[in-house]
Structure 1
């Protein structure tokens, strides 16, 4: 259930109030930014290929995707992809035709819902090429495994098995339309493996013996173009003396016609060659190609070394890749470059320092000969996995990064929050947000990586997992797990580290540590400075201690406890007593025992005789002292796995866990601050995993929306002190969005204040006949938090609150215009029932005429194209008004195409509209389309030119804030543009007299994804040194939105349920607002603003930075007349600029008398003439920017 996004306090349409749910994902947790459509490859890459346009086509998992760098190429759309019966299809190979079409082979029965069997041809956009129909051949038992193109367009392929009339024959040739080419036929019952096409059309193939189709494919022969064996080629025989038979993985025809064969073997035609050999064109071994000991892998009892891929560079050197540790006894991990004679090329670096790809199965070249490599995940803790780009010398090319958000690889094992709100994470992972952090790291409260953990968090544990964490009050941390070293020093299964990640040498485990790998389940520091360690172990440093041991501050045993070797949890009570649970033995208490603070058995705790326990997995103590326990129990002979006991061990019969015997087992549970209980459940019989919430009496809380998970199991749960919930462990997705092992949920139930705001125009109290007061700004003070929220245009609002006291106050742009009743509302939850309804009645405080006008560019202005604008005008005052709206523009370079409504009057350079009865708070708009002159028209318009518009609104009344009755919009013409951008409507400069007044911004966004965007948030961090955040006023949005101002300078424009389409005709949106600059700014200062645009839970798109300078034309760095002569002056068409002395000009700007920039000449080093023919008659300033600074002078345009 999707709820309100990105806020704790949100405005929405009333009465259809959207509630914020405790199951909603916390959007402020881990805001690690990646570009929109960034694609993280997270499954084995069977094949990758650099295309002629530099894009990358690859098979990863069961998908065929195309990348443009690290971005998903959304112009290639495979829809629902490949399917095989009820599951996903399996892809083996593809080949790209010269026309860009793609032939794909594998094991599949359908593609994007269309029936197709194992072989298909796609158009460049991913749609099915219906002109390709496989006929005359059927595929069985494994589908198509290799595809190659002949120069004549015919298609050669190998399948695992094909039969025709009971005869096996798995090497086929198809015509370009998919029909079987019957002129090609191989000898029956041969099983062909890999093949390569010679320049003469003959095939070099690997095959088996002809008397057994399923025997090892360990021979290499050559076929004629009709499929018969070429008897002039001497068949090469391959063998492997250790383990199973040889396997041939790649055949490559070199530029000189010789043949390279790679795979797993140690002999070829009775000669010793390990995994790679070169054959002469007649099939004999080329003894001039010497590779010494060849390729080896660390295992000795069984050969796991393979050469999977061989490619030839332009200089004829060879890159061989696969699964190996050494080449010719030299350390080379999975990839090596060889000289033409087979010797190692030492100029090619070993990428083991960054590459984590095992079994490199695919290598291809970019146009600059940089190298793309791919394969499956390795077992080293490096960042570059599955696919990477190498420089020519083998070093990493950092322009390509297979980055992912969150934790990578093995799931998280344990999570603990520190008193200062930071989060300690343990597991067997090796990175977080693409930063190395081996098995342990620390996050800030917001989910960002805590960079003050400078040592152990990034490289402390190189092998092994962290399974238990315990922070100390002094900032130190105990870590326990299956590791043996920390920061390369001995730390046998347990270590104590300092707050910066360095090892505390005072805690020194000099022996073997705990006896079993991963045995430590729980670490519990005692107030005495000692520490309890529980788990599944029998020895510590070779001393007997079963399941529970107490260590002193230097790591020595300080007490053992005979309760069995399977302690699962240790929990402290407020009175200092300690509960221990597990599969316990050696005591009179089954499954759970309580100790005093001095670790004596607490005889006052006796488990109820009605309860028989075999194991206790988890224990949580409630605020009232009652104890929740999860495990395996029988109560009066009835099996259950969750119950509650009183502090003395007596069964609490008021607790009724209604999910017992439902088939679901409890993976984990937590107790929320409101004493409700959240369970993570799993039913392996139906492969269903979910999260539910119980009331404190054990019954199902029906107000909590059950959540279902993807992944191998349900995640674990951790409740933060503020009630938010961390989900961690095997967690791939949550609510359809990537989760990457850990996310945070809001966790709490929210209370609501809702109501309407109306304007009492006739002073008889607000009723349904009064107009709604739109875009009301409301201040909410909650303790130390002071936030502002601006409702949408409906006049209805709803705000969500956590429990506590809150003060709600309406705020007006002009406080002396209106009075709100009530002026302030105090509400306390849960004392007041939710939702709490509070309407606001707004009355006029006297008569205040106040109109406002703005111009918004719907799209950029481009030479020769139509530019669309919205003229927005609004009555901000207290009384209804009528008047006129005027728009001035340069008619010589702009042609009116349309206006809706049509203009009342149209003259040269001016359009005007009369309006009547514009009521208080009413906003109207005019849609306007102008065609911009092209560079071929006279006057010409080019990129960099500035279009000047001035909008003015007037009425018979004297306006109280005349500054916003006129807006000068200076629009720079562009040749190309980013559809997600930010524009300051005042342009690149403002005059000093405009400081402290409003400037206007417009943010445009475009959905370039592959599905509708359900929710969009535009986030703007305001620089409070330059802007007055309290003056921010939204002007207009393309769709309904609300505004949230928090943290002093963070502004969120929230488009909830916008459902913005992704088709080009409808995928655009915008938001516009105004804000005052600080009055303290001076000439020469600049103010800048950018925004981040979030489409659902995708990573944000960051706009350009719109920068405006406060400039005074009267300032000179040098005398204009000393360096330049300007003529003619006055001027009609061409203004000449003659240089008197040496000076390097960078740009030329021309301003009108209003200080508006009207002409820009960039890159003006050699410019001596400026065309001013399209300027209106009048006085102008020309400003020249140079290596000597800036200077300006006046001229007159006739």
Structure 2
């Protein structure tokens, strides 16, 4: 037995660990929109910072071979928040912003959208929108813009004034950016206009979410005269819920995408008069909301009348791997073969003059081509290798776990680490250097959102919601055949001490479809002894996250069906066989904004920490962090600071202090990462000396007391750290436990076999016993109820364990060998 006496240390602020090398971590960027210029160059906008290894934020111009147009880049200067790009006159470009206040930064100058660029990338100083779009006196945003042949510009969006002039969600700007008083839309649209395109004869088509235009019923689609007045000659017999994309064909026919109702609920065609084109019959597979983009264009029409489109569902089994083409009559064009298509929904399509198609988005795999969010397809739909620019953004670490040898397995949105191409799961050595061999063996097409280590060093991952397993070498373990989890995207995995695997997931919150927790045997087969209820009151409607208790019970956070049939956001506790533990009565969480559970942590005495995005529990105000009693009641004695933002991770340190990471602020306290005392008060020994500049997604306390943080940050304590950092901090492993308490804590026999006996210091206040395995997981937990305690070890495998004795005065730890 090795006795570890936990004595006090001087309280010094946390610092970056100089023994852990900073890594260069990148991920595929996001491309929101792209257009082709007259000379064949392509301009793309999105959230990216680097192109082909060159710093290129938000806006990039490519030559036809995928190389970066360096002159355009130099002329443009630094840029941020670019969202849509539309072609204007003489090769000029109109850029909109994804910021809700409509602000764009280009060339180091912040201006209101839209900003007009010259063809060479310089900002057109002659075009200035002043204060831009505003609503109720506050800055607002645009949804779309349209350049007119005479140099004027139409803007639509969420506003009631533009540059101080009243404008009902639509306005026409002069060549200088001033509001044109000759455009008279009256009261405009009753709700937001999402898109605007030119129609024959100088007329305009608008789509969106409105019911009326200038008082006339039109159900999300209207044709306007050039002066903005409603065109009463455009009539149709179908009401649409929303129209998100509009394309006018050369013959004047109109292609619509959105939530369209009727026989073609997602993609339809109208005649120039507005009547439905009865000759158009798209596949029934294109169900509601399948074809649409709120960001840019989901539909393009070729000169031969064929229609290229993308869907919001993977319909590979029906011949539509998210990208497809229709013949002019709407039938599926089987000659267009995009392979397995993109791993995630595209954002935009652009049809090029040479007959190829650009597909933009945030996908990480397109038919086996990895980490290229802007793909060019041949006229037959195949990925075109002649145009594959490398578009990147800083990477994100979502999950991290430490192996017994000290190496860190890291998952997230990762495509390059220290210059080496990777596929979302990597391993770092203890000094922060990349384990290049392991990382090169992993090929995962989607970002990793879940991670768990098995005792034999095999690695379980959730990538794209699919459960997979890697061998210790990083190669895929094809012996895992998960059963019962293929019908829902998985969101969380846990490995129980006996090696069985818990998997939780769900399909959306709007429709009750297969939200559940299942348990698998180590080979992936379904554990028939575990049966979590799937229907009726108390069954899971939406899975969020879960945690294991030391006694084998399982806490599950999500949305449940209440006795009245309504959603009830709370925690439930399952017995080890999956049945409901009726002694646990979770109360309802509430939020006035976006709601989610992100992290659960169980304290040694059984209390439960819940972190996420919520504002109240059981009617009591609690912003993002709450502690529950062991029976689910609110622990009113736990009073954390007031958080503004989201708690992503709650980590219980070995000494029972609480590390909290996320994207949040709290007055007078560190941002995004702070530590609390056991009663919830801020820990004054954890200062702002090593604060991340952006969100923290995951946390890990190493056995030596160092803390590992992963997230979306690019600096830590003002020093460059991309997505992963390790810090040293006081008060991680211990508090000032008196040495006499440690000396009076008896543990026998050594080594241990079937049982382990513990006699605490009679003069101190012993509370709990915990036995942790080599991975830091609690395998046994017991409350002190007398002068001594006995732990049964007969079900545990041989090895080295850590016994943790928690006193009111602090914590004493022993290393215990079990034979």
- Tell me which interval the TM-score lies in, with the shorter structure as reference length: 0.5 to 0.7
CA distance in 1, matches of 2:721, 2:177: 42
2:716 equivalent to 1:734: yes
2:92 equivalent to 1:100: yes
In structure 1, the residue matched to 2:453 is 469
CA deviations on 1:210-256 (whole Å, 9 max, x unpaired) are: 577697743443x444445556x4423433xxxxx521122222233
CA 1:471–1:139 in 2, change beyond 3 Å: closer, same or farther? same
**Counterparts of 1:190-269 in structure 2 under 5 Å?**
190=189, 194-198=195-199, 200-206=201-207, 210=212, 217-221=219-223, 223-228=224-229, 233-239=233-239, 245-267=240-262
CA 1:545–1:442 in 2, change beyond 3 Å: closer, same or farther? farther
In structure 2, the residue matched to 1:275 is 266
Shift of 1:149: 1.8
**Counterparts of 1:1123-1162 in structure 2 under 5 Å?**
none
Q: Does the 8 Å contact 2:29/2:362 carry over to 1?
A: no
**Counterparts of 1:361-760 in structure 2 under 5 Å?**
361-366=347-352, 368-375=354-361, 383-384=370-371, 386-398=373-385, 399-402=387-390, 404=392, 411-412=398-399, 414-419=400-405, 422-425=407-410, 433=417, 437=423, 442-443=427-428, 447-448=433-434, 450-451=436-437, 457-458=442-443, 466-472=450-456, 476-477=457-458, 479=460, 499=473, 501=475, 503=477, 541-543=527-529, 563=551, 565=553, 613-615=605-607, 667-668=650-651, 685-686=666-667, 688-690=671-673, 706-713=689-696, 715-719=698-702, 726-729=708-711, 731=713, 733-734=715-716, 741-743=723-725
CA distance in 2, matches of 1:443, 1:50: 42
**Counterparts of 1:687-1086 in structure 2 under 5 Å?**
688-690=671-673, 706-713=689-696, 715-719=698-702, 726-729=708-711, 731=713, 733-734=715-716, 741-743=723-725
2:59 equivalent to 1:65: yes
What root-mean-square deviation, in Å, do the aligned CA atoms of Structure 1 and Structure 2 show? 6.0
Q: Does the 8 Å contact 1:349/1:395 carry over to 2?
A: yes
SS in 1 for 2:171: strand
Q: Does the 8 Å contact 1:140/1:161 carry over to 2?
A: yes
Q: Does the 8 Å contact 2:93/2:117 carry over to 1?
A: yes
2:314 equivalent to 1:320: no
Q: Does the 8 Å contact 2:700/2:709 carry over to 1?
A: yes
In structure 2, the residue matched to 1:291 is 282
Partner of residue 328 from structure 2, selected from 340, 344, 353: 340
CA 1:292–1:496 in 2, change beyond 3 Å: closer, same or farther? closer
SS in 2 for 1:152: coil
Q: Does the 8 Å contact 1:58/1:66 carry over to 2?
A: yes
CA distance in 2, matches of 1:734, 1:304: 41
CA distance in 2, matches of 1:418, 1:531: 16
**TM-score (normalised: structure 2):** 0.55
Shift of 1:545: 12
Greater relative contact order structure (CA < 8 Å, 6+ sep): 2
CA 1:737–1:254 in 2, change beyond 3 Å: closer, same or farther? farther
SS in 2 for 1:158: strand
Q: Does the 8 Å contact 2:395/2:712 carry over to 1?
A: no
CA deviations on 1:260-285 (whole Å, 9 max, x unpaired) are: 23322143xxxx33433333334344
CA distance in 1, matches of 2:470, 2:171: 64
Q: Does the 8 Å contact 2:291/2:309 carry over to 1?
A: no
CA 1:230–1:539 in 2, change beyond 3 Å: closer, same or farther? closer
2:78 equivalent to 1:56: no
Shift of 1:435: 5.9
CA 1:148–1:520 in 2, change beyond 3 Å: closer, same or farther? closer
Q: Does the 8 Å contact 1:423/1:443 carry over to 2?
A: yes
Q: Does the 8 Å contact 1:362/1:373 carry over to 2?
A: yes
Task: Extract unaligned runs of 5+ from structure 1.
Answer: 1-20, 35-39, 83-89, 240-244, 298-302, 488-494, 525-529, 547-559, 569-582, 587-610, 618-630, 642-659, 749-1198
CA distance in 1, matches of 2:720, 2:260: 42
Shift of 1:640: 10
Shift of 1:289: 3.7
SS in 2 for 1:75: helix
**TM-score (normalised: structure 1):** 0.39
CA distance in 1, matches of 2:275, 2:637: 73
In structure 2, the residue matched to 1:331 is 319
CA distance in 1, matches of 2:202, 2:665: 55
In structure 2, the residue matched to 1:148 is 146
CA 1:104–1:462 in 2, change beyond 3 Å: closer, same or farther? closer
CA distance in 2, matches of 1:249, 1:202: 19
CA 1:403–1:423 in 2, change beyond 3 Å: closer, same or farther? farther
Task: Extract unaligned runs of 5+ from structure 2.
Answer: 1-13, 50-56, 505-516, 521-526, 533-547, 557-572, 577-602, 610-626, 630-634, 731-819
Shift of 1:190: 4.7
Shift of 1:685: 3.8
In structure 1, the residue matched to 2:781 is none
In structure 1, the residue matched to 2:74 is 75
CA deviations on 1:855-886 (whole Å, 9 max, x unpaired) are: xxxxxxxxxxxxxxxxxxxxxxxxxxxxxxxx
CA 1:345–1:700 in 2, change beyond 3 Å: closer, same or farther? same
Q: Does the 8 Å contact 1:422/1:444 carry over to 2?
A: yes
SS in 1 for 2:693: coil
Shift of 1:332: 1.0
CA distance in 2, matches of 1:311, 1:91: 19
CA 1:224–1:737 in 2, change beyond 3 Å: closer, same or farther? farther
SS in 1 for 2:443: helix
Shift of 1:706: 1.7
Q: Does the 8 Å contact 1:147/1:157 carry over to 2?
A: yes
Q: Which has the higher strand share?
A: 1
CA distance in 2, matches of 1:496, 1:138: 51
CA distance in 1, matches of 2:481, 2:202: 70
SS in 1 for 2:340: helix
CA distance in 2, matches of 1:229, 1:584: 60
CA distance in 1, matches of 2:683, 2:175: 66
CA distance in 1, matches of 2:67, 2:715: 21
CA distance in 1, matches of 2:485, 2:337: 38
Shift of 1:423: 3.5
SS in 1 for 2:250: coil
In structure 1, the residue matched to 2:156 is 158
Q: Does the 8 Å contact 2:145/2:156 carry over to 1?
A: yes
Shift of 1:707: 0.7
Q: Does the 8 Å contact 1:667/1:679 carry over to 2?
A: yes
CA distance in 2, matches of 1:511, 1:51: 50
CA 1:173–1:444 in 2, change beyond 3 Å: closer, same or farther? same
